[in-house]
Structure 1
Amino acid sequence: MTLTATKLHRSALSIPQTSTLSGLTLACLLAPGAWADTQDDTRLETVTVISTGVRGAQRTVADSPTPIDIINSEQLLKTGRAELSEAISKLLPSFNFGANTSGFQSTTRPLTNRGLGPAYTLVLVNGKRRHNGAMPAGGNIDTSGANAVDLDLIPISAVERIEVLKDSAAAQYGSDAVAGVINVILKSSASGGHLETSYGRLGDGQGENIKFAGDKGLSLGDGGFLHVSADARKRNQAFVYDKADANYRGYAPGDTRQDSWDHRALKNGDPDLEAFNLGYNAELPLTDSTRVYSYATYGERDATIYNNKRLAYSTASIPERYPDGYDPLNNIKDTDWQWLLGGKGELGAWNWDLSTTYGRNRNHHSSDLTINPTYGPASPTSFGDLATLQFDQWVNNLDVTRHFDSLPLLPFAVQVSAGLEHRWERFQTFAGSADAYSVGSYTYPQLLADGSRNPLYDLSVRSGLNGGPSRGAQAALVIRPEDEADLERNNYAAYLDFALNPTERWYIGLAGRVEHYDDIQKNTFALKLNSRYELTDTLAVRGTLGTGFRAPSLTQLGYSVADNRTGVNAQGVVVPALRYTATPGSALAKAFGASDLDPEKTRNLGLGLTWQPARRTSVTLDAYVVDIDDRILLSQNIYDTGNGAVNGILRSLGVAEGSWVSYYTNAFDTRTRGLDLVFDHSTPLGAFGDVRWSAAFNWNKTTIEGSRSTPANLAASGIEVIGHAAEGNLVAASPKTKWVLGANWRIERFAVNLQTTRYGKVETWADDARADRSFDAKWITDLDIAYSITDNLTASVGGTNIFNVYPDRNGVVASPSNGGQGIYGNPPFSPNGGFWYTKLAYDF
């Protein structure tokens, strides 16, 4: 049997692209039908796929000069409750998915590639740049503030496959493609379709999940196609919480309710979610040599999640409204769309591709079951407009390519590709209603009705609030008029790419790209050199050398908010905290040592082997080093620890004393080293069907090579800008090792897919190193059993994390009064335990 992948509708070029052996491994791991006839002895290298990585070159799997993994639509649909980004992390060992489980960051979850945040992996759809989201990264693992692409707003029903280039591609696709490229290929058939529905829930009954998905291919004109897709999902909230310890005060000293309350101080977890996505992909021949193409996606997502409890004994409390405290709700609505129009064809011996695409992501925040305590009992309990963030992107591309049998001084085959790109971006934020950020005149009465001291008044005085409550709508991201942003950027780029074949066994790729950013007046040049040489018919060596440049994102430059959260202070006590994220150029940030952000400079080095010792066996091994200078992160929270230094600066700027301040800064120079190993083998069992085995391993380690120092005048006052916790996010928060082991057994009408993943040890560091926590490695096992009732109808049952494994429970060890904060840390897998589902699918 010869496997030939569906031809890629490559919107960047009309010429096919490359793949690799490691891509084949995972493509076949869980794909029923992909290896239905394993009795055929055709070698793996005959498999031809059309893919990402070398512009304008068709190559077989065994010829790949760079590591690319391929995930097909069947695999994506078998990841149970996962959305698109989590599904990628479940299938690929070099990817990890952060579990943000609290507040308004719960829908912005970082998908890291080779230990690097999502800002360093470029996302394409049909070879064209996907627009970014509006919400900056701000979770417990990724605090870069970069606004990554929200993959979950791409219809999963529209995806034919996903091609993941795990190597520098800055010179080919854009200077921000430091860790690689995710290329989402949309379905392009002109007939047939797929319908499916699924239902599932967690083992404890939470997180009920319902999905509907469908797609249909239609012919368009003479030789064209229109493929439409839609999916919808509803997921109920799943709490991840634990009790605060017995010493934790939910009520004032002497209040008898302290002895009877349940000590549940938070309801973190997955948000309640309702979402739908729509999409189409189309292509129409105009002449024998010219085609016009287009695609579009549209998505809406409404999420609701509880924030940390505001205790009855806290400065966020208004007893007349909520005598026992309250659990605020964050409401987040995302609206997202992208539309592309292009044409491609031949002009003489050249192939050309011209396209334009526009995309927008809009993120709106509101809140329920909360108050602005400064208005006392008169405060509203719902705020319909807290903040809105919007990101727009318009991209225009012209790409050309041509094959030459030889050129002067190059007496062998050469393929030349070149292109121009213009990218316009705009980041805007819009202020919410005044009642969310304004400050009322309410102060706690000094005495209660019975004449005794009011403990809330005394607590306020001790907290530096002079008898008043905490300011602003609680548990909310709030934008004030003075914080509104409206930033624009134009990026102009040109690239040149050569694919050389000096001999039948030797391939050389050379690419260069120049870019200009008009807002920061920076020019950059990115270079990529990669090569592959066949040592024998079954063994080849490959390597890559590349450079990159990532300009500060518009969100890192312009994001400014007031955020009413809870935080753990220097004494380990959970307290309400009004936190300002200030822009680097603001007076507030500069007072605490901020300066203009510098671009990040990157260098990549990769070296690998591909080996096919037998007909149905393949092995790839790829090592890599990625250096990033001037890496941008959020500073630690700067607040007064009792010596008055911070409050003095705040007072001089007219900012409320007791506030916490942070800003984005060039914090570290880092080096990331790693290794990817992928093994694949097929075993025919005759009457007992066949099994495809796979093992994939990633080792990844980041070290700090340099860091910015706190200005001397601030350090003398005990103020630290970049602390221990920020370093831990880079070097310890993601697992250093990850195994993905799987088997796909097909026998007659049954397909059984078993996968187990080992996530290595992770750590959560605090500003106070005594509060660092460690979480042991865990094995997570997934199972899917499918039965073909007819040739068109398939029923499936399955489970993710079928052995109900949880992360270690490990509280804040330095805290004298643990409030149940972060009991599970920041695990690289869902902390909700086992999830079970059933699915019915119909193909026509």
Structure 2
Amino acid sequence: MPLLALAISYSTQAIAENAPMIQLDIKAQRADLALIEFAKQTEQTIVFSFDLAKQYQAQSVFGYYSQLDALTTMLERTELDAVVDQDGLLSIKLKQINRNDNNMKKLSGVSAAVLPLLMATNSQAVNAQEQGADENIEKIAIVGSRVAGRSVEDLPVPVDILSAEALENTGQTEVGRMLQAIAPSFNFSSSSISDGTDALRPATLRGLGPDQTLVLINGKRRHQASIIHINTSVGRGTAGTDMNAIPAAAIKRIEVLRDGAAAQYGSDAIAGVINIVLKDAEEGGKAAINYGQYSEGDGETVNVDFNKGFALGDDGYLNTTINYRDRAPTNRAGLHGSCQFYGCTELDDGTLLAGDPRELTVERDTFRIGDADSQQFSLIVNSG
């Protein structure tokens, strides 16, 4: 490890010493806005977290500076550091604190570069959580790697971490539609006049079949549904997983691996992996009632959620969620325009000549295309 640290430090110094002086004019402002302005004026790619940077205030920089000197001045009174890795990538990280050393390494001028967070270990992430810095550390993913608990930034494949808050903010009441609203490459198609497919909708990743997306619950395989989509709908001839069987109120977060992972998980993960992590709190809870309908006046939906956590002994937990959803049907079919009785003649311009007088007053709203009437009750118990 010391040899590796020395190589990175040397690379950083070499880049800094050869860096030209650049004229900058950046006013004092929020750190994320200042970093964006720095990137524009220097035409330099810089990697940083908006959620992290917006918590700090950057100082003004005016005059000629090297890139590292300018960032040092801007971030002097914050907990952020500018880091250049061995490949020359410039990024903004939290300052590193070594618990076994009373000295904190800070970026001062050119030569005292702080080692990047790219080498952070799982134990460092745990220490950061113990210090109450949950909102500043990187999110940890279960899927996408054989190494458990890797940081999303370190994963070689695209993984989305969707929190319960992000799912709730979509305004949807079904997990499938929540994912469709915020997860790239995920499609939760609606169909009509497709028998059971109307109720158990096919969920797909990257346009592949529903049975080629692996769905996990707490890292374990979720069973597929017994229904086979046999009509001319998305996923015809396959049996996928019912995404709506798990209520959103029971979900802590959802991890979506948007890449083929058949070599790691099997042939049912050709399109990718969706890992649903259930809530595991041992105390507290939530009760909510949602009501809404479409602007057309139909599709009235009532959704009731109740979640409560209980402690089991000293280290155990039991988290329970009850959900009830009542959704009224929708109809977007319009009026039926063809003849309803024998003896009706249709002219070339579409005009109907009624041979039967009943044709003039017959009901034309005879067809329905839309969501079916649905009632769902769910009970989820997660313990450990």
Matched, 1:95 2:186: yes
- Equivalent residue for 2:360, pick from 248, 259, 265: 259
Separation in structure 2 between the aligned mates of residue 231 and residue 35 of structure 1, nearest angstrom: 35
Matched, 1:269 2:370: yes
Matched, 1:249 2:372: no
- Equivalent residue for 2:308, pick from 185, 201, 216: 216
How many aligned positions are there?
251
Residue of structure 1 equivalent to 2:141: 50
Cα distance change on mapping 1:282 and 1:207 into 2, 3 Å: same
Equivalent AA in structure 2 for residue 69 of structure 1: D
Shift of 1:36: 11
- Equivalent residue for 1:77, pick from 160, 164, 168: 168
Q: TM-score, normalised by structure 1?
A: 0.28
Equivalent AA in structure 1 for residue 155 of structure 2: S
Cα distance change on mapping 1:96 and 1:48 into 2, 3 Å: closer
Shift of 1:132: 0.9
Residue of structure 2 equivalent to 1:148: 240
* Aligned partner of residue 239 in structure 1, secondary structure: coil
Residue of structure 1 equivalent to 2:200: 108
Separation in structure 2 between the aligned mates of residue 236 and residue 275 of structure 1, nearest angstrom: 12
Shift of 1:103: 4.8
Equivalent AA in structure 2 for residue 144 of structure 1: R
Separation in structure 1 between the aligned mates of residue 53 and residue 310 of structure 2, nearest angstrom: 27
Separation in structure 2 between the aligned mates of residue 126 and residue 138 of structure 1, nearest angstrom: 30
Kindly indicate whether the alpha-carbon contact (under 8 Å) linking 2:191 and 2:198 is maintained by their aligned counterparts in 1.
yes
Shift of 1:57: 3.5
* Aligned partner of residue 176 in structure 1, secondary structure: helix
Shift of 1:37: 6.8
Alignment map for 1:335-414 (pairs within 5 Å): none
**Unaligned residue ranges in structure 2 (runs of 5+):** 1-47, 57-77, 81-91, 94-116, 118-136, 344-354
Alignment map for 1:168-317 (pairs within 5 Å): 168-245=260-337, 248-253=338-343, 254-283=355-384
Residue of structure 2 equivalent to 1:38: 55
- CA deviation vs aligned residue, 1:300-338 (integer Å, no higher than 9, x gap): xxxxxxxxxxxxxxxxxxxxxxxxxxxxxxxxxxxxxxx
Separation in structure 2 between the aligned mates of residue 193 and residue 82 of structure 1, nearest angstrom: 18
* Aligned partner of residue 150 in structure 2, secondary structure: coil
Q: TM-score, normalised by structure 2?
A: 0.61
Kindly indicate whether the alpha-carbon contact (under 8 Å) linking 1:230 and 1:277 is maintained by their aligned counterparts in 2.
yes
Residue of structure 2 equivalent to 1:157: 249
Equivalent AA in structure 2 for residue 272 of structure 1: D
Separation in structure 2 between the aligned mates of residue 87 and residue 140 of structure 1, nearest angstrom: 24
Shift of 1:117: 2.3
Cα distance change on mapping 1:137 and 1:232 into 2, 3 Å: same
* Aligned partner of residue 258 in structure 1, secondary structure: helix
Shift of 1:142: 1.8
Shift of 1:41: 5.3
Shift of 1:38: 2.5
Kindly indicate whether the alpha-carbon contact (under 8 Å) linking 1:88 and 1:95 is maintained by their aligned counterparts in 2.
yes
Kindly indicate whether the alpha-carbon contact (under 8 Å) linking 1:100 and 1:140 is maintained by their aligned counterparts in 2.
no
Kindly indicate whether the alpha-carbon contact (under 8 Å) linking 2:144 and 2:157 is maintained by their aligned counterparts in 1.
yes
Separation in structure 2 between the aligned mates of residue 203 and residue 222 of structure 1, nearest angstrom: 50
Separation in structure 2 between the aligned mates of residue 81 and residue 88 of structure 1, nearest angstrom: 9
Cα distance change on mapping 1:217 and 1:257 into 2, 3 Å: same
Cα distance change on mapping 1:88 and 1:107 into 2, 3 Å: same
* Aligned partner of residue 142 in structure 1, secondary structure: coil
- CA deviation vs aligned residue, 1:793-820 (integer Å, no higher than 9, x gap): xxxxxxxxxxxxxxxxxxxxxxxxxxxx
Kindly indicate whether the alpha-carbon contact (under 8 Å) linking 2:139 and 2:151 is maintained by their aligned counterparts in 1.
yes
Between 1 and 2, higher relative CO (CA 8 Å, sep ≥ 6) is seen in 1
Separation in structure 1 between the aligned mates of residue 307 and residue 52 of structure 2, nearest angstrom: 24
Shift of 1:140: 3.9
* Aligned partner of residue 183 in structure 1, secondary structure: strand
Deviates more, 1:35-44 or 1:94-103: 35-44
Cα distance change on mapping 1:249 and 1:41 into 2, 3 Å: farther
Separation in structure 2 between the aligned mates of residue 140 and residue 214 of structure 1, nearest angstrom: 38
Residue of structure 2 equivalent to 1:309: none
Kindly indicate whether the alpha-carbon contact (under 8 Å) linking 1:113 and 1:121 is maintained by their aligned counterparts in 2.
yes
Separation in structure 2 between the aligned mates of residue 223 and residue 69 of structure 1, nearest angstrom: 30
Alignment map for 1:503-542 (pairs within 5 Å): none
Shift of 1:143: 4.5
Kindly indicate whether the alpha-carbon contact (under 8 Å) linking 1:201 and 1:208 is maintained by their aligned counterparts in 2.
yes
Kindly indicate whether the alpha-carbon contact (under 8 Å) linking 2:303 and 2:323 is maintained by their aligned counterparts in 1.
yes
Alignment map for 1:537-576 (pairs within 5 Å): none
Separation in structure 1 between the aligned mates of residue 177 and residue 199 of structure 2, nearest angstrom: 12
Shift of 1:85: 1.0
Kindly indicate whether the alpha-carbon contact (under 8 Å) linking 1:207 and 1:238 is maintained by their aligned counterparts in 2.
yes
* Aligned partner of residue 131 in structure 1, secondary structure: coil
- CA deviation vs aligned residue, 1:171-203 (integer Å, no higher than 9, x gap): 222221101100000011111111111111111
- CA deviation vs aligned residue, 1:416-461 (integer Å, no higher than 9, x gap): xxxxxxxxxxxxxxxxxxxxxxxxxxxxxxxxxxxxxxxxxxxxxx
Residue of structure 2 equivalent to 1:64: 155
- CA deviation vs aligned residue, 1:43-90 (integer Å, no higher than 9, x gap): 466414132111233322321111111111112222324411111111
Aligned sequence identity (%): 36
Separation in structure 1 between the aligned mates of residue 148 and residue 171 of structure 2, nearest angstrom: 36
Cα distance change on mapping 1:207 and 1:226 into 2, 3 Å: same
Quote the RMSD (CA, aligned, Å): 2.4
